[in-house]
Amino acid sequence: MATRPVTFLVNGKLHSVANANPLESLLTYLHEAGIKGTKLGCGEGGCGACTVVVSFFNKSLGSVCHRAVNACLMPLCAADGTAITTIEGLKSTTALHPIQERMVKSNAIQCGFCTPGIIMALYAYLLEHPNATESSLQSCLDGNLCRCTGYRPIIDVAKSFARKTCLGTCTTTDIETLPVAPPSIPVEFLTEARTPLFASTPQCSWFVPQTLSELLELKRLHPKAEIVVGNTEVGIFNHFKGSYPGHIIYPANIPELLSFSTTEDGAFIGAALSLTDLEIKLESLIASMDKAKAKIFVEMIRQLERFAGHQVRNVACLGANLATASPTSDMNPILLASGAVVHVASSTGKRTVNISDWFIGYRKVALAPEEVIVSIFVPFTKPNEFVSAFKQSRRLHDDIAVVTACFRVTLQEVPNEPAPSSVTATSAPILRWDSASFNAAVASGSGFVAQPPSQSLFPPTNKKWVVQSCSLAFGAMDARTRLASSTGQFLTGKSWDFSILPGVIRAFATDFPIAAKVPGGMPEYRRTMTGSLFFKFFMDVYANIHGSTSVPPQYLSAAKKSFDRAVMKSVVDFDCATPKCPTDVVGTPVTHICADKLATGEAVFASDVDAPYHAVMIQSSKAHARIVSIDATKALAMEGVLRVFTAKDVPGTNVFPATKDEEVFASSEVLCVGYPVGVVVARTHEIARNAARLVQVQYEELPAVLTIDDAIRTNSWLAPPIVYETGDINAGFKASDHVIEGEMSVNGQEHFYMETNVVVATPREDEIELFCSTQNTSKTQSSVATVLGIPSNAVTVKCKRAGGGFGGKETRNIFVAVACAVPAYIMKKPIKLWMDRDVDMSITGTRHPFLCRYKVGFMNSGKLVAADFTLYSNCGYSLDLSIPVMSRALFHVDNAYFFENLRATGHMAKTNKPSNTAFRGFGAPQGMCVTEQIMIRIAQMLAKPVNPLRELNFYKEGEMTHYGMQVKNNFMARVWAELLEKSEFKKREHEVTVFNAQQRYRKRGIACIPVKFGLAFTQSALNQAGSLVHIYVDGSVLISHGGCEIGQGLHTKMAQICSTALGIPLSMVRVGDTSSDKVPNSSPTAASSQSDLNGMAVLLACTALKERLEKFRATLPPTPEPLPWDKLVQAAYAARVDLCAHGFYETSAVKFDFKTGKGNPFSYFVFGAACSEVEIDTLTGDHTILRSDVVMDIGKSLNPSIDIGQIEGAFIQGSGWSTLEELVNFPNGSYYTLGPSTYKIPGVVDVPSDFRVYILRDVENPMAVHSSKGIGEPPLFLGHSVFFAIQNAITSARAEEGIQGFFQMSLPASCEQIRLACRDAFTDPTPNAGIKGESWTTVESRPTPDDLHQLP
């Protein structure tokens, strides 16, 4: 039932939806309407893939606005009266939009799944900010994620639209005209009066009151109704919990709730005013008033900059922050500290609530069910009042807070006796400490202690300021936002000097006695942050009241709140081939052949394919248990549900793949949380998802093994250990001058491909066709055939393109495919199984976490003599690819260094976690990481710089690895020398030293690391590829090959090879879908080898065709000019010449005997090196990457622009893994990190401010097509240069507290690890205590104990 249809414009066309569903999102509607350029990436507004532009008349500003919003969260009903522009609406009938065009030409597109959202976010911002700066244009993409590109080309495109600054010497024609025009929308459509909308379904009703009185009456009638403005809280809760409100009230038209006004005492902020509009109003207010009165508003704006992304701020409001009362709210501590007043109303009257009385419990506030928040009054700051707001999160921008705070203090100047002129600042003696963790000569410590800075360190002052009043508000330190009352009482009446700091630290401990099992985890870090953030505030206020000269320069860094990041700049340096003719395109930087389609939303992904029925998995809630019963009665009773399938319904074999250690659906036992128990098939995805929640499974729990430590303790292994060795390690240790032992733990990494796993299965007579987002069509085909009990020739698997993969779709898409194929085959109906982001992340597995133990012997010179490595990997419940992953880790544990004596042993732990799998690098980075840590430790022990030690131990040409392969065509020394030169390492290393000497609480670090990466599948049989090349009568060419396009530009390179080989324009070549019925038995698209394998197969097929046609040409009568290609083809067809060729290529060089552990597991090596410089805030643990230089040997590049993109993307993925991307688990074995809100991949502000990539010139590789090299995986490890630079910075910070000796972090270097490693008076006295005991959350990567002992 509805009063009228929901009416809105989409790309200029009127859409009228009768009986709209209040629970339906705009994105769902767009997809059902066939408008599919807007993508679904997460369903929680955290990735930006679904960004559209909403144009509406903004009543609070009195003008038409164009705002980027997340269509996955925007209710369809909220679109009423607006104009929606999607990616399809930008392109004209004849040309790309300028943003689309620049994205294409700048090679800013790889998989392309994120591209529409990025373009729309940029478009919306330019419409609202025609004079935008480069900095703001980079920041406007803070709500968009990209997993492929590394952001550099995207940022370049954004910056290109910045209004150029005229210095007075230019004419107007010198300033680039902004090529972005608003969409053509009739203003009258946006402003016309409409009948209030009411929409209703049996499940939910939607109300749109027009006046405050109507709103209050609705709340009287429906006190449990949810008031929704941006839907950024309610929408996410409903999506993930499956609990939907019976009534929704949308108050977007009520003037009182959209208002902003000021009085003599402060400002009234309408509860529904969007945060973007609030920011606009505050900026205008601040510009027009006394800055001393606006301090609280300055802090509000500063905090808003880190509040989610632009898409969320464009719709979220302050009232919702107060009503939902999330303890992690960014804004509520500011309101609490400011002394705000909440104005509420109901049908019976109005009242005010002091903010101090507002928060009464976890998500409970002093608001009656029938009441509504109308406005919030925020008072101006008073003279001598100081305010600072803080937010600490895993990622600097668009992240949920770990701790939020706002401090307000009012000071009063009191008489003070002048300090004697003879008094000078003195330094307190620094105690000396060393780590018993790494120095066997040091006894176990009794606990590190330090004192905060004392007044004696600072020049005397002639003023005394006393705390008159203060409010210290914290979020995420309790179940509710609250004041640190004990600390506030302690401070009141105290002098604002350094004597208060010890008492403040003690008082905070009383206010927030956080237990180890505190929700949210990170107890030591959160306890540490209370004093750390206060100290930043203290120093800021101290410098303000006494003048900056009262603080020694090195201590001023404590008061800094953010990093001074410059707008990103970059260098891309490569050698481009000189074409011999227009068709000689190999080696040239041509753009991605589908880039224009990806930029316009026309490119089709598997997730875009429709099906009439949908399947959703029923997942285990236990880590290890026997299934007692499955009851689907409630699910089957739901309208729209067709059937539930379990193990008994599988027509063929329920066990797959070749290892026979996985089940399609659990028959009797579940092996991890999330394990598939069955699927529900329904008419829509939403119905199937809700029905799956209703399936009741009874379990008998069994003991669960969750970590590597658990596996070691219980002897739980998937396979026998793997051992590779050379020389005599025992003799090597005896001959060594020094022998060290240690261990390092390396966390896993979530793939976070932008398109989650999706399969569309369509039965056809006695066969079945699957359209998949996959990297492995053949393995998917054979597994589906086994499960259905039919031959492989009855199964066709196709992949047009995948929205990212990174190894995650090499095998882990298969269990999704078979789960979809079973119901489709039995029901004889097309079925789509598209995994929600949280489901995908809960069960598809990650990069293998590793524990690496080592014993290394070396000489006084630093020369490596012997090493014994023992590696443990957490494989999850099945083998999957864990054996080859471990093998590659063992192959690469030497990295670029020669060991005469080496043993590497690998143990594969069987745990009750999702089966971990391939990920870019495939185990090699885990092995290399520990070796680089060892090199740093050796350098510290010998008191030598580490880089010369690396050079001393680099492989020399022809030396033999520990697995018996010669290192040939070794460019490591040349790459390293070029890196040191290009990065200006010596100069910058000195600058870092100078900076650190001048800054106490900001430290910089710089680090260089090399990489030697073996290319090829280590399993010989996989090093083969086939291709099929068709020439049609019109001269056009179609290529089919076995590789899948996942964003790496594979199809583009294949087209280039074909174009050059046949001597035809690239425009005449098309690459078809990857399909198992075109090229059988294909190897997975993995191991960075697809250009090598498929490129040679395509080249061989094209060469055969070329020779065939040239032979035919020789039979033709001579002509003055060579016969054009199309005429030659037509003549050949008429003469019955075969215009189709099959190419097949196998790599004979790869021959490895796994029994003896000797041979050539690779075709060749790729060499590279990187240098990164970082800056850390020692008080918060935040970091920023100042500059990264990368030098790569990639042979003769097939396409330099694509290869540069692969290098940049891999580097950022590697730096993300080593810093931000922390997998967090609950103690029951389930993941806490299930989406962008909890798992943080790098964003646009997390990339280096200065990013420089150099391709080594004039190198050959005789082992691959056109002398090229595979490049997808090798650069990833170089991102760890950021990790080691951070560790270098921490070492400098520890030295400030007298802590000497080697220091090591586990991976990743999260803000928590960084802060707790920078030990000082504010750090929790028992670091890692929560990890040792039971905790609310756990991480696989365990910190090395920081066991410090005081030295005499």
pLDDT tens across 1183-1213, in order? 999 999 999 999 999 999 999 999 999 999 9
Closest Cα to residue 42, out of 108, 95, 92, 117?
117
Residue 449's CB: how many other CB atoms inside 10 A?
12
Rounded to whole angstroms, how far apart are CA atoms 467 and 499?
13
Q: Which residue type sits at 3?
A: T
Rounded to whole angstroms, how far apart are CA atoms 39 and 41?
6
H/E element, 1111: helix 1090-1113
Cβ atoms of 1154 and 1007 closer than 8 Å: no
Helix and strand element counts for the chain (H, E):
37, 51
Closest Cα to residue 376, out of 384, 367, 385?
367
Compute the CA torsion angle 160, 162, 168, 174 (nearest 10 deg). 40
Q: Which residues of 1293-1306 are buried (b: 16+ CB within 10 A; e: fewer)?
A: bbebbbbbbbbbbb
Rounded to whole angstroms, how far apart are CA atoms 449 and 201?
63
Q: Which residue type sits at 549?
A: T
Confidence (pLDDT) at 1350: 78
Give whole-number Cα distances, 1341 to 744, 1227, 1293, in Å: 9, 14, 23
Confidence (pLDDT) at 126: 96
Confidence (pLDDT) at 425: 45
Residue showing tokens 């532009």: 53
Confidence (pLDDT) at 591: 95
Q: Is 391 helix (H, G, I), strand (E, B) or coil?
A: strand
Q: Which residue type sits at 716?
A: S
Rounded to whole angstroms, how far apart are CA atoms 488 and 494?
10
Rounded to whole angstroms, how far apart are CA atoms 471 and 1348?
36
Rounded to whole angstroms, how far apart are CA atoms 516 and 1332?
10
SS3 content of the chain, % helix, strand, coil (to 5): 30, 25, 45
Confidence (pLDDT) at 1346: 77
Rounded to whole angstroms, how far apart are CA atoms 247 and 245?
5
Pairing state between β 1037-1041 and 1069-1071:
parallel
Confidence (pLDDT) at 561: 87
Confidence (pLDDT) at 690: 94
Q: Give ∠ CA 114-116-117 in degrees, rounded to 5.
A: 70
- Tell me which residues of the chain have a pLDDT lower than 50: 166-177, 421-426, 1329-1333
Give whole-number Cα distances, 1206 to 575, 1169, 1175, in Å: 16, 15, 26
Rounded to whole angstroms, how far apart are CA atoms 258 and 248?
18
Residue 1196 token pair: 């003769």
Pairing state between β 1002-1015 and 1024-1031:
unpaired
Q: Is 285 helix (H, G, I), strand (E, B) or coil?
A: helix
925: preceding bond cis by omega (within 30 degrees):
no
Per-position DSSP letters for 698-765, written without gaps between them: EEEE-----SHHHHHHHT-BSS--EEEEES-HHHHHHH-SEEEEEEEEE-------SSPPEEEEEEET
Confidence (pLDDT) at 581: 87
Rounded to whole angstroms, how far apart are CA atoms 525 and 403?
9
Q: If you ran DSSP here, which 8-state letter would residue 420 be given?
A: P
Residue 380's contacts (CB-CB under 8 Å, 6 or more residues apart) are 265, 266, 267, 293, 294, 296
Cβ atoms of 328 and 393 closer than 8 Å: no
Residues with catalytic roles: 1273
Rounded to whole angstroms, how far apart are CA atoms 881 and 917?
6
Confidence (pLDDT) at 1328: 52
